[in-house]
Structure 1
Amino acid sequence: MAITTGTKTYKNLINGEWTVPFSEQYFESSNPANKEESLGQFPASNIEDAERAIVSARQAQKSWAAYSPSKKAAILYKAADLLEDRAEEYGRELTREEGKILSQAIMEVKRSAQTLRYYASEGLNVTGATIPSDDGSFVYTKMEPLGVVSVITPWNFPISIPARKIAPALVTGNTVIFKPASETPLSALRLVECLHEAGLPAGVLNFITGSASKIGNILVSHPEINAVTFTGSTYAGEQIHKAASFKTRLQLELGGKNPLIVMDDANIDEAVSTTIAGGFSLTGQACTGTSRVLVMESVYDSYVQKLVEATEKLTVGDGMEEGVKLGPLANAKQLETVLEYVEIGKAEGATLLTGGQQLTDGKLGNGYYVSPAIFVDVTPGMRMVREEIFGPVIAVMKVSSLNEGIQLANDTEYGLAAAICTSNEQAISRFIQEIEAGMVKVNKPTTGVAYNVPFGGVKNSSTATYRESGRDALAFYVQSKTVYR
Structure 2
Amino acid sequence: MVGSEGEVMTQTFENYVDGEWRASETGETFEVVNPSDTTEVVAECQQSSEADANGAIEAAAAARDAWKNTPGPDRGAFLRTTAKKMDERRDELAETLSREEGKTLSEATGETGRAVDIFYYYAERAMDYAGESYNPSAQGQNLYTVREPMGVAGLITPWNYPIAIPAWKMAPALATGNTVVCKLSKEAPTVYLKVMECMAEAAEEHDVPDGVVNVLTGSGEEVGQPIVTHDEVDAVSFTGSRQVGDMIYEQATDAHKRIQTELGSKNPTVVTENADVEQAADIVSGGAFGVTGQACTATERVIVHESVEEEFVDALVERAENTEIGHGVEDPGMGPKASESELENTLDYFQTAEDEGATIEYGGDEPDGEEYEDGYFVQPTVVSGLDSDATVMQEEVFGPFAGVMTYSEIDEAIELANDVEYGLAASIVTDDHSQANRFVDEIDFGIVKVNEATTGLELHVPFGGMNASSSETYREQGEEGMDYFTIIKTVYDSY
User: Residues 231-273 of structure 1: CA distance to partner in whole angstroms, max 9, x if unpaired?
Assistant: 1111111010122144211110110100000001111000000
Partner of 2:177: 173
**Which of 257, 273, 280 is matched with 2:289 structurally?**
280
Separation in structure 2 between the aligned mates of residue 107 and residue 153 of structure 1, nearest angstrom: 19
The answer to whether the aligner puts 1:67 opposite 2:73 as a matched pair is no
Comparing 193-202 and 4-13, the one that deviates more: 4-13
Q: In the superposition, relative to structure 1, how do residues 178 and 225 fare at CA in structure 2: closer, same or farther (>3 Å)? A: same
Structure 1 unaligned blocks of 5 or more: none
Contact 2:66/2:209, CA 8 A, preserved across alignment: no
Separation in structure 2 between the aligned mates of residue 207 and residue 431 of structure 1, nearest angstrom: 42
**Which of 17, 21, 34 is matched with 2:20 structurally?**
17
Comparing 239-248 and 149-158, the one that deviates more: 239-248
Alignment size in residue pairs: 481
For residue 132 of structure 1, report the CA deviation from its aligned partner: 4.3
For residue 214 of structure 1, report the CA deviation from its aligned partner: 1.4
The answer to whether the aligner puts 1:442 opposite 2:450 as a matched pair is yes
**Which of 190, 194, 198 is matched with 1:194 structurally?**
198
Separation in structure 1 between the aligned mates of residue 279 and residue 196 of structure 2, nearest angstrom: 40
For residue 359 of structure 1, report the CA deviation from its aligned partner: 2.6
User: Residues 27-48 of structure 1: CA distance to partner in whole angstroms, max 9, x if unpaired?
Assistant: 1100000111001111110011
Contact 1:278/1:290, CA 8 A, preserved across alignment: yes
Partner of 2:382: 374
**Which of 28, 47, 50 is matched with 1:47 structurally?**
50
TM alignment of 1:143-154, pairs within 5 A: 143-154=147-158
The answer to whether the aligner puts 1:99 opposite 2:102 as a matched pair is yes
**Which of 298, 301, 307 is matched with 2:307 structurally?**
298
The answer to whether the aligner puts 1:112 opposite 2:115 as a matched pair is yes
Separation in structure 2 between the aligned mates of residue 82 and residue 356 of structure 1, nearest angstrom: 43
Separation in structure 2 between the aligned mates of residue 22 and residue 365 of structure 1, nearest angstrom: 37
User: Residues 326-362 of structure 1: CA distance to partner in whole angstroms, max 9, x if unpaired?
Assistant: 1000000000000000010011111111101113521
The answer to whether the aligner puts 1:157 opposite 2:161 as a matched pair is yes
**Tell me, what secondary structure is at the counterpart of 2:330?**
coil
Q: Percent identity?
A: 40
For residue 380 of structure 1, report the CA deviation from its aligned partner: 1.0
Contact 2:229/2:255, CA 8 A, preserved across alignment: no
**Which of 98, 107, 127 is matched with 2:130 structurally?**
127
User: Residues 366-394 of structure 1: CA distance to partner in whole angstroms, max 9, x if unpaired?
Assistant: 00001011000011111100001100111
Partner of 2:93: 90
The answer to whether the aligner puts 1:259 opposite 2:268 as a matched pair is yes
Partner of 1:233: 241
AA aligned opposite 1:176? V
For residue 129 of structure 1, report the CA deviation from its aligned partner: 2.5
Q: In the superposition, relative to structure 1, how do residues 69 and 276 fare at CA in structure 2: closer, same or farther (>3 Å)? A: same
AA aligned opposite 1:464? E
Separation in structure 2 between the aligned mates of residue 332 and residue 192 of structure 1, nearest angstrom: 28
**Which of 452, 475, 481 is matched with 2:483 structurally?**
475
AA aligned opposite 2:313? V
Partner of 1:344: 352
Separation in structure 2 between the aligned mates of residue 51 and residue 380 of structure 1, nearest angstrom: 46
**Tell me, what secondary structure is at the counterpart of 2:428?**
strand
AA aligned opposite 2:261? L
Separation in structure 2 between the aligned mates of residue 86 and residue 8 of structure 1, nearest angstrom: 17
**Alignment TM-score, normalising by the size of structure 1:** 0.97
Partner of 1:243: 251
Q: In the superposition, relative to structure 1, how do residues 32 and 5 fare at CA in structure 2: closer, same or farther (>3 Å)? A: farther
Separation in structure 1 between the aligned mates of residue 400 and residue 284 of structure 2, nearest angstrom: 11
For residue 483 of structure 1, report the CA deviation from its aligned partner: 2.1
User: Residues 40-98 of structure 1: CA distance to partner in whole angstroms, max 9, x if unpaired?
Assistant: 11111001100100010001111011111111111111111111111111111110000
Partner of 2:189: 185
**Alignment TM-score, normalising by the size of structure 2:** 0.95
Separation in structure 2 between the aligned mates of residue 126 and residue 45 of structure 1, nearest angstrom: 35
AA aligned opposite 1:31? N
Please provide the CA RMSD for this pair: 1.2
Comparing 313-322 and 124-133, the one that deviates more: 124-133
Separation in structure 2 between the aligned mates of residue 96 and residue 127 of structure 1, nearest angstrom: 40
Partner of 1:311: 320
**Tell me, what secondary structure is at the counterpart of 2:32?**
strand
AA aligned opposite 1:477? F
Partner of 1:325: 333
The answer to whether the aligner puts 1:361 opposite 2:369 as a matched pair is yes
**Which of 35, 38, 41 is matched with 2:38 structurally?**
35
**Which of 429, 435, 440 is matched with 1:432 structurally?**
440
Separation in structure 1 between the aligned mates of residue 106 and residue 84 of structure 2, nearest angstrom: 19
For residue 363 of structure 1, report the CA deviation from its aligned partner: 2.2
AA aligned opposite 1:243? Q
Separation in structure 1 between the aligned mates of residue 125 and residue 99 of structure 2, nearest angstrom: 33
